[in-house]
Structures are given as structure tokens and as C-alpha cells.
Structure 1
Amino acid sequence: MTPDLLLVLALLVAVVVLFGIGRPRLDVVALLAIVAFPLTGVLSVPETLAGFADPNVILIAALFVVGEGLSRTGVTYRLGDWLAAKSGSSRTRLIVLLMVTVAGLGAVMSSTGVVAIFIPVVMSLASRLGMSPRRLMMPLSMAALISGMLTLIATAPNLVVDAELARQGADGFGFFSVTPFGLVILALGIGYALFAQRFLGGVEADETGSARDSFDDLFARYGVDRRAGRYRVEPGSPLIGATIPAVDFGTTGAFILGIERKRFWRRTTFLIAPDTSVRRGDTLILDLAPDAPTLGRLGLDYVGTSDRVFDDHARQLGVVEIVVPPDSPLVGRAVGDLRLRPTHDVTVLGMRQGGRAPESDFADRRLRAGAALLVAGDWEAIRRLGDATRDFVALAPPSESDESAPAAARAPFALLSLALMIVLMVTGVVPNVIAALIAALLMGAFRAIDMASAYRAIHWPTLLLIAGMLPFAEALKATGGIDLAVGGLTAAFGGAGPYAMLAVLFAATAIIGLFVSNTATAVLMAPVAIAAAGAMGVSPYPFAMTVMLAASAAFVTPVSSPVNMLVMEPGRYRFGDFVRIGAPFTVIVLMVSVLLVPVLLPFHP
């Protein structure tokens, strides 16, 4: 063992220890490793920074953007709505549909994002069915982890292992190469979850609740009438061709909540952007009385009420409270003169002053310091209020903001972009990274996502972690560490045959994954697995596939994967709950992998 190898192993042990104690952050540890390699002379600066040029780092970043596009357009939330409708009152059906839905969605977008989206959905379903969230949060995290076994792009470790195959001169895996194994494990996972959830305990109808206001709370506090009218734009209306800011409702204070317009084969309600133009035949949703004198002048025909429009369109339309500070220039001005619609794309629904809401029209009321206003607009406008001006302070948005979908009208285009990406990846017409970049660009072109949201969607710590851990594989290879590990494994288990080696590789990957992220584990174990296959004279594919499956089998501890950490608090789990439920299932996945992988990926093709 050379001094350079000892130095690399010492760095690796230090990184693993820091990963285990969780301080500093994982991405900071990766950056420390990047700095350490050139300083110790083990790797040159270009070799150390080569991870940032790895195509898979760009691919993962693009997939974060695609996943955010699906969230912003409401595709993921509509799946949650469908789940609630289909599960009915059956707990068994709920768990089955939940796991299938989460696994399917996680196969094409970030599993961490999927879990974050579904946590409020699961909490709501648990409350409706009178069951503890503890019985659902663990199946949720299990399904998210299994989703990494369904497609090549489902999780970063898959891409890391595939890239290592390419670096070793072998053909990579196909888009669906891992799918047969994942489907079998998903079926077993559903059965196991149905059996194990009864051991999670928890008081029925237990729920964590929320300290945040809802739409109901805010409307009640401000005494806002939630009814809205639907008004058809008649031929000859002066509104035809006018943009939304140009529409003048006089002194009524009315504003447009949404527009119903025939799109494709059905009528769609969508929120208005400032550049939206009114068309003949549109149906406007207004907070305007049906007997208002403005109707005749504007050529609007009242066609009925649109009750609970905020609830029906809560994914797009939001409300928030804003407070007027003492030094605000708004102090002393009348509410009707604020002109928040042209400046901030929001409209005042109600006000509170002196601790109560006025019983009559508040348009002429002058604001005092500390006055609060309830304003409405699309969720993007609501978010911009937080840092828009010193004139007012925006309070925390209501709980409905967690499921906002500001680009819901673009959902068909987001699905089209996703479908094109999958087709390109499956057919191999272009490299996977180009296919993902095309999909991300289409998401932007179709306005399913904007640049600010795209940059926010990228989980930069994950990219830094991957780029920071990739030099370890190169360093171990350059200093003989890979050869040493392979020699030790072959000497200890090579005589037992390739099946025993698969079991050892799976176990080693899963054990390392208890303390190190699954991405970092894949970076370390992929070259060992491929080299071990070469030493035994067998195909590298079953060995590489086993590492891929084991890297996603992070069921045993809450620190093994971010999805486990996400469900820990809402599920009120302890560390031992994951060990008790996750360890037996990990053994099941090990057995299935060792027995099934060589059947579909033979040792001697």
C-alpha cells in the first residue's frame, strides 16, 4: 500500500465520518475534498475538477428543471387529486395507488421533489380516512426510493454507474434496462408495506395540523364574499382586444379572477397574465354584482355564479395579507387609490384596521400605520410581493400556496416535453443529456417554467456532491486502491462464484449507503464492481446493475436518503422505526437482486 493510497483512504475516511455526523453540509464536505486533492498532489487541478464537466452532472441539472416544470403546471398535483378520488375510503387501495403513483412519477423526476409534493396530499388523505399519517409516510418514502429502480434517469446513482461503464469502454444501459427489476421490487414493496404499516402504530385520526392560515381563515377574518360571477364577452364588446390592465370597471373595484376559453377540445379556466387579451366568446370570472351598471357599457352578459372560485383554482389563484408599516408612503392614502393591480398584479379584496374589518365599502378608507390588506393575484405575483417594495410587508402565504401551480394552463405542453425526452432517450437518437436539455428548453419555450424558477429548481448541493465525489474514483484508480479492493474481494469470495460476489457487492453498497449518500456510494462502488467482474472473467452488467439497485435500497436509516428525512417529522418516526421496517425489506431486495439480475443479465452473454 503506497503513501498516496494511504492518503486517499485517509481522505475517504474523513469524508465518510463527516457525512455520518452531518457537519458540515454534504456539499461543503465535497468541496473540501476538491480542495484537498490538488493540495496533496494526488490529482492535478484538471483531474480534480473533471467532475464538473461530466455529462451526467448537466443531465441531472436538466432533470431538476423538467421536474419543476411538471410541478408548476400542476401535473403532479392532479395526480394527487386523482389518487384521492380513486382511493375512496379503502386504506389498502390508498396505499397501493399511492405507491404506484409516487414510484411512476419518481421514475421521471426527482424523488425528493415528489415526496415533498405528496406529503400534504398524504396528510389530507390520512385526515379524511381517520388514520394516522405514520401508516402512510413510510410507504411514501419506500415508493420514492423504489422509483430509482424503474428508469435509468430516475436517480443520480444510476447515471453514475452508467457513466462508469462508458468510461471502462462498455456500452451503457438502456433507458428501461433497470425497469424489470424495479417492477418486481415495487410489487414486493407494496405487499410488504401493506403488511408492515400495521406495525408502525400511531393514534388513528392523528394529524400534525398546521399553524398557517387557509383561504377559509383569511376570508372569514376579512369578511370577504367568496362568490364570483361569470360574464360572457358579447360580440361588439369594447373589451375585445383589450389587455387586462386596460379593462376599466369604474368605481366598482372589480377585477378579473380568470378567463374561461375554449382550448383544444374543452373549455379551460386559466389565470390572466398582464399581456392577456380579451377575445369574443370568453367568459370572464369577476367579483362583480350581476346588477352592476358597468355590464351594459362593457358588453358583458351575466351567465351565472362561480362559487368558491378561490378553492376551485387555488393552484393558480392566491391571496396573502400585507401590512402597512409606519414609514410607508401608503399611510394616509385611500385604499381605492393604491393602484396595486398595475404595479404589482394584485387586487385588494379586503382590509382590517384597528383590529376589525369595515362593515361597508372600504375603497374610501384611508390607511393608518399597521393596517392590513388582503390581496389576490396569481401565485407568482403573490411571491413577488415579499421583496417588491418597502411600502408594505407581505406575511406568510396561506397553506394553499404549498400546492400552487402558476402555469397550470401549460400542463399539456409540459407533458409533451416530457414525452419527447423519454422517446429520445429510449430510441437513443441523441445522448441522454441532450434529450434532457431539449426537454428543459421546451419547458421554457412553452412557458411551463421561467428562468428564475429553473435556477431555483436545480438542487445545487446534489451537483456539488457528485462533482466532488467523482475524483475519489479517479484517485483510487490512480493509486491502486481499486485493484486492491478487487483483489481482496476476489480472494475472499471469488471462489464462491459470481452469485456470492453479487451478494457481497449489494451488501457493501447498502452498508456504505447507511453513512454516505447513495450517489457518493455509487461513485465508489461502481468501479469496484466492474473491475471485480473483469477479474472473474464475467460480464460487468450484472455487477453494475446490482450496485444500481443497492444504491437505491436506502430503506434502513433516515440519513440514508433525503426522502427518508422528509417523511420523518410528518410521520413522527424515530430512527428505530426505519431500522425496524427498512432492514428486513433491504434483505428482501438483496435476495431478489442476486437471484433475478443474472437471469436477465447473464454472467456469460
Structure 2
Amino acid sequence: MNLDLLLVLGLLATCVGLFVLNRPRMDVVALLAMVALPLTGVLSVPEALAGFSDPSVVLIAALFVIGNGLVRTGIAYRLGEWLMRSSGSSETRLMVLLILAVAGLGSVMSSTGVVAIFIPVVLSIAVKMNVSPRRLMMPLAFAGLMSGMLTLVATPPNMVVHSELRRAGFDGFAFFSFAPIGLTILVLGIIYMLVARRWLGRSGQRDEATEPRDTLAALAQRYRLPERERRLRVLPASPLANQALDELKLRTQYGINVIAIDRQQRFRRLLLIATGNSQLQVGDVLLVDLASPAIGLLGAYEELGLAPLQLNTSYYADHARELGLAEVALPPDSSLPGKTIQALGFRSRHKLNVVGLRRHREALQGLLVDEKLKTGDTLLVAGSWKHIHRLQGISRDFLVLSLPAEVDDVAPAANQAPFALLGLAVMVALMVSGLVPNVLAALIGCLVMGLFRCIDMDSAYKAIHWQSLVLIVGMLPFALALEKTGGIALAVSALIGAFGDAGPRALLACLFLLTAIIGLFISNTATAVLMAPVAISTADQLGASPYPFAMIIALAASAAFMTPISSPVNTLVLGPGNYRFADFVRIGVPFTLLVMLTSVLLVPLLFPL
């Protein structure tokens, strides 16, 4: 063991120790390592900074953007809604569909992002089905981890191992190389979680801490909106056609407050939030709030050329992603008491409609526009989520109270969902066909989403998890440093000396366990960076194919089931599931061993030694 190797190992041990302590942050530690390695003389500055030009790093960044496009267009949320509808009242069906949905979506976008999206969905379903979130949150996390075993782009460790194969002169993995093993593990995972859920809580047990926030339905009920909601179609002979709302005086003369306009345009329907300048067209469906349910009986509809339509559910629930509600309170120092709602000019100033007023915990009825406000009043405003968010913090005269739970599901580019699917399909098709390198396929997918406004530049930059990228870039030079100083050769010799006589499968099991154990203390990406060259060099020393050894590292890096800190997805569900550290150990360790046995059996069959 030479001095250079001792320096590199000392620096690596220091980094691992700081990773465990999480002080400073992992990306800062990676940057410090990137600076320290050239100072040791082991690597040159270009070698230490080479990670910034690594195609895998650019690919990971592009996949963050692709995943954000799926979120912004509401595709991920619609999958959650489908899950709720399809589960019915069966907890078993819910768990199976939940694992399949999360694993499927996580195979093409960040598993951390997928789990974050599904947490409020699962909490909502748990309340409705009277199921303890403890029985669902861990399966949710495990599904996110298993999604990393389905495709090449599902998780950064897969791409790190793929990149290491390419660097060693091999072809790397195909897009679906992981799928046969990943699907087998996914099926075993479903069966395992259906059995193991009995140790996560009793059916019908619900934690008080998981009660959801107010929903749109609850807010509407509190202000007695359902009895006043109507859908009215503008008929061909209507005098309202081609006129602006401000000119029509519908609210003051007829007590009809137009909240939004549902309009057919070409091949799709648009929901337009009503403003004073909104012009009505023949065929428009008006979503209105009536000052009194009796208005329709007074012949107003016939006079205005409006036809009432059936309203099965609240239009706030039907259009929850475009149309929101929020409570606005008047603080003690507000200058608004004494003024009428008409004088506030909410529609003209803030593009929001006042649809409710509560005083002394009672919702007032009738025409509210001439009602003078009093200190302590609470208003209910309706409009687009964008304008509701904009209202927060812009005036000391009113205070926006907590927003309803549906605000978490808002998709700012919901109308572009078909184009987001197109971008995803283009990326996957190019990757599977091999027409262009994977990194170019992902960039083309991003450009397609950008072209059709599924994403914009600001959201794209915000979507990229820069901490993960810097961590990868900072750890990549260690592989080269260990190779140049003989560290990898030393590790391979020790591994073969200890387990070489036991056969290749024993070596694969040893590599899996070593990777999984290291992954308990540092990120699975950093673990893959360190272990991939060891695995490939071990295969070279044995004269075996590098593919089974590389694959076992990738699978082991995703098998972070054993502790709540093994992976960000585990940490995400720790609070909502009300888990303890021991819960993950009790459920995760047996499943990790099951995954190891499955991998050691299947990998040599699919990737001959």
C-alpha cells in the first residue's frame, strides 16, 4: 500500500464519516473532495472536474426535468385519482395498485418525486377507507425503491454503473435490461408487503395526526355554496352573447355571479376564470353562484337566454386543478370594515370572486355585494390558484388563511398533458431503439416538453436536484483515484482471496451485501460510484463477463429497505406513517435478503458469467 493510496483512502473515509454525520451537507462534502484530490497530486484538475462533462450527469439532470413535466401537466396526479377510483373499498386492491402505479411512474422519473406526490393521495385514501397510514406508507416507499430496478433511467445508480461499463470499454446496459429482474422483485415485493402489513398496524386503525386539511368540499359546505351552484348554458338567441360581464350587471340585477366559463374550443374544453372583461359566447357553460336558489324560478333564465344543466357534483370538485377557493380573514388593523364587498373590487383588482361571507361562525345568505364588512368577518373567494397565491402577502387589510388540500394537486400546465406524454414517449422510443445516445434522447424529450409549454425554463431549473448532481460529480473522481493508486486492484484481490473459491455466485452475494451495507451510511449513488469499478475489476480478474457483476451492484444500490435513512423515500414516509427506526429494520432487512437471493439466482441466468 503506497502513500498516494493511503491519502485517497483517508480522504474517502473522511467523506464517508461526514456523510454519516450529515455535517456539512453531502454536496458540500463532495465539493471539498473535488478540491482536495488535485491537491494530493493523485489527480489533475481536469480529471477531478471531469464529472461535470459526464453524460450520465447530464442525463440525470434531464430526467429531473422530464419528471417535472409529468407533474406540471397533472399526469402524476391523475394516476393518483385513478388509484382512488379503482381501489373501491378493498385495502388489498389498493396496496397492489399503489405499488404498481408508483413503480411504473418511478421507472421514468425520480422515485423521490413520485413518493412525494403520492403521500397526500395515500393519506386522503387512508382517511376515506379508515385504514391506518402505517399500512400504506412503507409499501409506498418500497415501491419507489423497486422502481429503480425496472429501467436504465429509473435511478442514478443504474446510470452510474452503465457509465462505468462504458468507461471500461463495454457497451453498457439497454433501456429494459433491468426489467426481467425488476419485475420479478416487484411481484415478490407485492406478495411480501401483503403479508408484512399485519406488523404495520391493524386494519381500521387511524392516527389522529393524519387528519387532512380542509378540502374544497368542506369549504363550500361551510359557506353553504352547494345549494347555490348552477351550470347554465348560453343559448343561441341569448342577449348575453358577445357581451362582457361588466356590461351585463348580472350580479347586481339578477343575483347571478359568474365564477368561470366552460368553453369548447377546437378539440378540447377550456375553463376560463371569469373577469369583468370576459366575453360570453353562444354555447358557453357558465359556472355560477346564485344569491338565492329561488332565482331560477323567477323567469330570469328564460329572460337571459340561459338553459340550466344538470349538476351531479360541485363544479369546484370537478375543476379543482383550475378553480380554487380560499378563506380571507380581516385582521384587527384592517381598513376594510365598513366598506361593502362591491367597493372592495375583488374581481377587478385581484381577479377573484367573493362567493361567501361568514360572521359569528354563520354563513350569510342573499345578495352579498352591498353587505358592509365588520371586523372578524371571513370572506370566501373563488378564482384561479395563481391569483389566490398572488393574494397572499400583498395587503395588510386581509389575511389568506390555510389553503385547502387540493392546492397540493394543482397542475399549472394541465392542458398540455398529451404533449408531456408525447415527450416521454419520444424519449423512451429513442432510448429503446438506440438511434441516439441516451443523454440525447432525454434532452430531445425535454425539448419536446418545452416546445409544447409543458415546462418553462424557470420550472426546469428548479426541477433539477442540484445537490444530487454535485454529489455524483464530486464522488466520481474517487473511482479514478482508487484505480490510479491501486486501491481497486487491492480490493479485488482481497475479495477474490476471501470468496473466490466459493464460486461466482458467492462473489455476487458478497458484492450485494457489501453494497447494501455501505448504502446504510452513504447515498446509494455514492455507493454505486465506489462499488461499480470494484465489481467490474473483479469480473476482469476472474475472466468473467462484467455484466452480472455490474448488475448486482445496481440492484443492491436500489435495495435500500433496511433503515429510514437508507434512502430519501424512506425518510419521506417516516413522519406520515408514524414509523420508528425499528419498523424499517423489522420489515426491511428480511425483504433485502429476499431481494439478494432473487438477484443472485436470476442475474447469472440473464447475464451469463
Q: Does the aligned pair in 1 maintain the 2:263–2:283 contact within 8 Å?
A: no
User: How far off is 1:463 after superposition?
Assistant: 1.9
Pair 1:485 & 2:487 matched: no
Query: Which residue of structure 1 aligns with residue 285 of structure 2?
Result: 283
Q: Does the aligned pair in 2 maintain the 1:271–1:378 contact within 8 Å?
A: no
Q: Quick one: distance in 2 between partners of 1:171 and 1:277?
A: 60
Which stretch shows the higher mean deviation, 133-142 or 209-218? 209-218
Q: Quick one: distance in 1 between partners of 2:458 and 2:296?
A: 40
Residues matched between the structures, number = 601
Q: Quick one: distance in 2 between partners of 1:508 and 1:444?
A: 42
Query: Which residue of structure 2 aligns with residue 234 of structure 1?
Result: 235
Relative to structure 1, the CA distance from residue 435 to residue 241 in structure 2 (aligned partners, 3 Å threshold; closer, same or farther) is farther
Q: Does the aligned pair in 2 maintain the 1:245–1:342 contact within 8 Å?
A: no
Query: Which residue of structure 2 aligns with residue 145 of structure 1?
Result: 145
Q: Quick one: distance in 1 between partners of 2:48 and 2:244?
A: 54
Q: Quick one: distance in 2 between partners of 1:443 and 1:501?
A: 44
Query: Which residue of structure 2 aligns with residue 91 of structure 1?
Result: 91
- What SS is found at the alignment partner of 1:141? helix
Pair 1:254 & 2:257 matched: yes
CA displacement, residues 508-561 of structure 1 (integer Å, 9 cap, x when unaligned): 111111111111111111111111111211111111111111111111111111
Q: Quick one: distance in 2 between partners of 1:507 and 1:601?
A: 19
Relative to structure 1, the CA distance from residue 549 to residue 357 in structure 2 (aligned partners, 3 Å threshold; closer, same or farther) is same
Q: Quick one: distance in 2 between partners of 1:225 and 1:535?
A: 73
Q: Quick one: distance in 2 between partners of 1:372 and 1:364?
A: 16
User: How far off is 1:150 after superposition?
Assistant: 0.5
Q: Quick one: distance in 2 between partners of 1:357 and 1:558?
A: 46
Q: Does the aligned pair in 2 maintain the 1:100–1:143 contact within 8 Å?
A: yes
Which stretch shows the higher mean deviation, 524-533 or 336-345? 336-345
Q: Does the aligned pair in 2 maintain the 1:353–1:372 contact within 8 Å?
A: yes
1:187-336 equivalent positions in 2, closer than 5 A = 187-202=187-202, 204-207=204-207, 208-210=209-211, 212-225=213-226, 227-235=228-236, 249=250, 251=252, 252=255, 254-261=257-264, 264=267, 268=269, 270=271, 272=273, 280-288=282-290, 290=296, 300-305=306-311, 307-324=313-330, 333-336=339-342
- What SS is found at the alignment partner of 1:174? coil
Counterpart code for 2:220? F
Relative to structure 1, the CA distance from residue 176 to residue 320 in structure 2 (aligned partners, 3 Å threshold; closer, same or farther) is same
Counterpart code for 1:375? V
CA displacement, residues 18-49 of structure 1 (integer Å, 9 cap, x when unaligned): 22233333333323333433444443443333
Q: Quick one: distance in 1 between partners of 2:158 and 2:462?
A: 24
Q: Does the aligned pair in 1 maintain the 2:148–2:558 contact within 8 Å?
A: yes
Query: Which residue of structure 2 aligns with residue 60 of structure 1?
Result: 60
Q: 2:419 aligns with which of 413, 422, 429?
A: 413
Relative to structure 1, the CA distance from residue 419 to residue 496 in structure 2 (aligned partners, 3 Å threshold; closer, same or farther) is same
Output the aligned Cα RMSD.
Answer: 3.1
Q: Quick one: distance in 2 between partners of 1:227 and 1:139?
A: 42
Q: Does the aligned pair in 1 maintain the 2:263–2:284 contact within 8 Å?
A: yes
CA displacement, residues 155-211 of structure 1 (integer Å, 9 cap, x when unaligned): 111111111111112112111011011011111111111111112234733133336
Q: Quick one: distance in 2 between partners of 1:31 and 1:84?
A: 44
Query: Which residue of structure 1 aligns with residue 455 of structure 2?
Result: 449
Which stretch shows the higher mean deviation, 38-47 or 546-555? 38-47
Structure 2: 5+ residue stretches without partners: none
Identity of aligned residues (%): 58
Relative to structure 1, the CA distance from residue 250 to residue 201 in structure 2 (aligned partners, 3 Å threshold; closer, same or farther) is closer
Per the normalisation by structure 2, the TM-score is 0.89
Pair 1:10 & 2:10 matched: yes
1:21-40 equivalent positions in 2, closer than 5 A = 21-40=21-40
User: How far off is 1:294 after superposition?
Assistant: 8.1
Which stretch shows the higher mean deviation, 364-373 or 161-170? 364-373
Query: Which residue of structure 2 aligns with residue 82 of structure 1?
Result: 82
Q: Quick one: distance in 2 between partners of 1:118 and 1:541?
A: 34
Q: Does the aligned pair in 1 maintain the 2:256–2:288 contact within 8 Å?
A: no
User: How far off is 1:91 after superposition?
Assistant: 2.6
Q: Does the aligned pair in 2 maintain the 1:196–1:581 contact within 8 Å?
A: yes
Q: Quick one: distance in 2 between partners of 1:164 and 1:307?
A: 55
Pair 1:582 & 2:588 matched: yes
Per the normalisation by structure 1, the TM-score is 0.90
Q: Quick one: distance in 1 between partners of 2:257 and 2:286?
A: 12
CA displacement, residues 118-176 of structure 1 (integer Å, 9 cap, x when unaligned): 22222233333333222222211111111100011111111111111111121121110
- What SS is found at the alignment partner of 1:254? strand
Relative to structure 1, the CA distance from residue 594 to residue 298 in structure 2 (aligned partners, 3 Å threshold; closer, same or farther) is same
Which stretch shows the higher mean deviation, 214-223 or 193-202? 214-223
